[in-house]
């Protein structure tokens, strides 16, 4: 392979990877906007993968520059790389080589910055964003290609013969990005579910954690509007401090928060008014939430919830026969339970509360709201609740 063909090959690979990087950031934006209701990747994975990656928490707790998240800066980075490769093959101008030099410098910068973000995820946050790591891998491969090709020294200008190839790659990327947006936008409308943001790793109770609120989440102005007669309530109803938890029984991180919530209820039952709101993230959670409300009518909410969490099957939910089995175990008449579920008891209420939560801007699971402010994921523990209510 002569030098021209060899250089063209590397330019094609670099351009392809920059477009792939743009697609990764676009997909990350879409998933973040939906609250990662389909997981980090946007499609079904196993429980082990979901427990390994927590994209929402990384983005929530991670670095921002000039108030903009790394999604924005990542997209801008790949866009500049893409245009710096594309413009020299589309137009004739004197500063082509300068543009390629700038592209090559940004590739090095992108690799260094991606390495820093990986360091933050591993050593500071102790959480990982799968799509962020994929973007970091793209930056590493771009860096590797830059040095293998020796473009960091030669700053070779792409051949004009690459024009049609670059345009085809770009148009293909635009089609994929449009399809990605269209699919997930319509998926949200069809399923009518709340976007979920899986926020919660097992919270560390270390004193090094700074307690606070998530400033990126909207303030709920009339928090009392979220409270209904059928919600599960604990604590002091006369307290000026109102803590509301929204959760889905099929959310793995809601399950992890469950034990801590029991500790919070026990610790602060005299100091705050605690409201528990089961709220569906998926349609298959509806029957389970109906069962929770029905069990609450008989004073068996905690027992029903505990047994549902024990049998939790993420992305599948529990069947009616499993709910019947739980009812028999906790001492609830299973015939009454199944009859009320089939009669759609609480069904309209659940849907109405679902829509009410969405209008209030609540798109997290689990979500803890104290006096209208969403508590940061790292602060969802007994110690921080105590600090925040002071």
**What is the H or E stretch that residue 39 is in?**
none
Residue 117 CA to residue 62 CA, distance in Å, equals 9
Residue 314: what pLDDT?
Answer: 66
What pairs with residue 243 in β-bridges?
A: 274, 370
Residue 192: what pLDDT?
Answer: 37
Backbone angles phi, psi at 37, to 5 degrees: -65, -20
Confidence of residue 366 (pLDDT cuts 50, 70, 90): confident
Percent of the chain with pLDDT over 70: 89
Rg (CA), the chain: 25
Residue 93: what pLDDT?
Answer: 87
What pairs with residue 204 in β-bridges?
A: none
Contact residues for 21 (Cβ-Cβ < 8 A; gap 6+): 74, 77, 78, 81, 135, 138, 139, 142
Residue located via tokens 């799968």: 130
Residue 8 CA to chain centroid, in angstroms?
Answer: 38
Percent of the chain with pLDDT over 90: 60
Averaged pLDDT for residues 229-233 = 95
pLDDT in tens, 118-174: 998 888 766 789 999 999 999 999 999 999 999 988 889 988 889 999 999 999 999
Averaged pLDDT for residues 240-269 = 90
Q: How far apart are the first and last CA of the chain?
A: 71
Please tell me what DSSP assigns to residue 225.
G
Is residue 190 predicted with pLDDT exceeding 60?
no
pLDDT in tens, 4-29: 899 999 999 999 999 999 999 999 99
pLDDT in tens, 285-300: 999 999 999 999 999 9
pLDDT in tens, 81-121: 999 999 999 998 889 999 999 999 999 999 999 999 999 88
Domain positions in the chain are: 3-191, 223-388
pTM for the full model?
0.57
Is residue 199 predicted with pLDDT exceeding 80?
no
- Do you know the residue count of the chain? 390
Is residue 207 predicted with pLDDT exceeding 60?
no
Is residue 74 predicted with pLDDT exceeding 90?
yes
Averaged pLDDT for residues 334-354 = 95
Q: How far lies 117's CA from each of 103, 107, 120, 126, in Å?
A: 21, 15, 5, 12
Class of domain 223-388: alpha beta
Residue 272 CA to residue 235 CA, distance in Å, equals 6
pLDDT in tens, 368-386: 999 999 998 878 899 999 9
Residue 36 CA to residue 29 CA, distance in Å, equals 10
Residue 39: what pLDDT?
Answer: 74
Residue 47: what pLDDT?
Answer: 60
Residue 205: what pLDDT?
Answer: 42
Confidence of residue 194 (pLDDT cuts 50, 70, 90): very low
Is residue 197 predicted with pLDDT exceeding 60?
no
Residue 188 sits at the vertex; the CA angle it makes with 186 and 193, to the nearest 5 degrees, is 155
What is the Cβ-side half-sphere exposure of residue 274, based on CA atoms within 13 angstroms?
Answer: 20
Is residue 202 predicted with pLDDT exceeding 50?
no
Class of domain 3-191: mainly alpha
Residue 191: what pLDDT?
Answer: 38
Is residue 37 predicted with pLDDT exceeding 60?
yes
Residue 209: what pLDDT?
Answer: 57
Averaged pLDDT for residues 186-200 = 43
> Residues of 327-340 as b/e, b for ≥16 C-beta within 10 angstroms?
beebebebeebbeb
Residue 352 CA to chain centroid, in angstroms?
Answer: 24
Contact 249, 305 (CB under 8 A): yes
Confidence of residue 50 (pLDDT cuts 50, 70, 90): low
Average per-residue pLDDT for the chain: 87
Residue 164: what pLDDT?
Answer: 95
Residue 62: what pLDDT?
Answer: 65
Contact residues for 258 (Cβ-Cβ < 8 A; gap 6+): 247, 305, 306, 309
Residue 200 CA to residue 316 CA, distance in Å, equals 20
Averaged pLDDT for residues 310-319 = 84
Residue 203: what pLDDT?
Answer: 41
């Amino acid at each position: 392979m002569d030098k021209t063909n060899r250089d063209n090959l590397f330019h094609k690979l670099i351009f392809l990877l920059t477009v792939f990087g743009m697609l990764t950031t676009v997909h990350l934006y879409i998933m973040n906007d939906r609250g990662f209701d389909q997981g980090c990747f946007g499609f079904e994975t196993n429980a082990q993968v979901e427990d390994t990656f927590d994209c929402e928490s990384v983005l929530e707790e991670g670095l921002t520059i000039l108030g903009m998240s790394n999604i924005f800066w990542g997209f801008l980075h790949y866009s500049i790389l893409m245009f710096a490769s594309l413009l020299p093959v589309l137009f004739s101008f004197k500063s082509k080589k300068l543009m390629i030099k700038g592209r090559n410098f940004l590739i090095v910068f992108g690799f260094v910055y991606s390495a820093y973000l990986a360091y933050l995820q591993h050593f500071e946050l102790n959480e990982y964003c799968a799509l962020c790591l994929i973007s970091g891998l793209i930056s590493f491969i771009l860096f590797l290609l830059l040095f293998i090709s020796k473009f960091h020294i030669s700053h070779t200008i792409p051949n004009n013969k690459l024009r049609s190839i670059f345009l085809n790659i770009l148009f293909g990327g635009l089609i994929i990005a449009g399809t990605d947006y269209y699919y997930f936008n319509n998926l949200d409308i069809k399923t009518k579910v709340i976007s979920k943001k899986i926020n919660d790793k097992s919270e560390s109770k270390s004193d090094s954690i700074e307690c606070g609120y998530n400033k990126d989440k909207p303030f709920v102005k009339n928090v009392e509007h979220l409270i209904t007669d059928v919600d599960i309530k604990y604590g002091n109803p006369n307290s000026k401090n109102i803590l509301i938890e929204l959760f889905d029984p099929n959310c793995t991180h809601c399950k992890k928060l469950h034990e801590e919530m029991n500790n919070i209820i026990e610790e602060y039952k005299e100091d705050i008014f605690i409201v528990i709101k089961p709220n569906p993230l998926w349609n298959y959670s509806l029957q389970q939430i109906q069962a929770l409300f029905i069990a609450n009518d008989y004073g068996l909410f905690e027992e029903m919830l505990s047994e549902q969490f024990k049998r939790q099957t993420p992305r599948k939910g529990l069947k009616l026969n499993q709910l019947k089995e739980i009812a028999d175990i906790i001492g609830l008449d299973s015939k009454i339970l199944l009859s009320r579920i089939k009669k759609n008891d609480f069904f309209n209420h659940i849907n109405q509360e679902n829509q009410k939560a969405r209008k209030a801007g609540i798109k997290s699971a689990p979500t803890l709201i104290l006096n209208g402010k969403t508590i940061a994921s790292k602060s969802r523990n007994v110690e921080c609740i105590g600090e925040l209510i002071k």
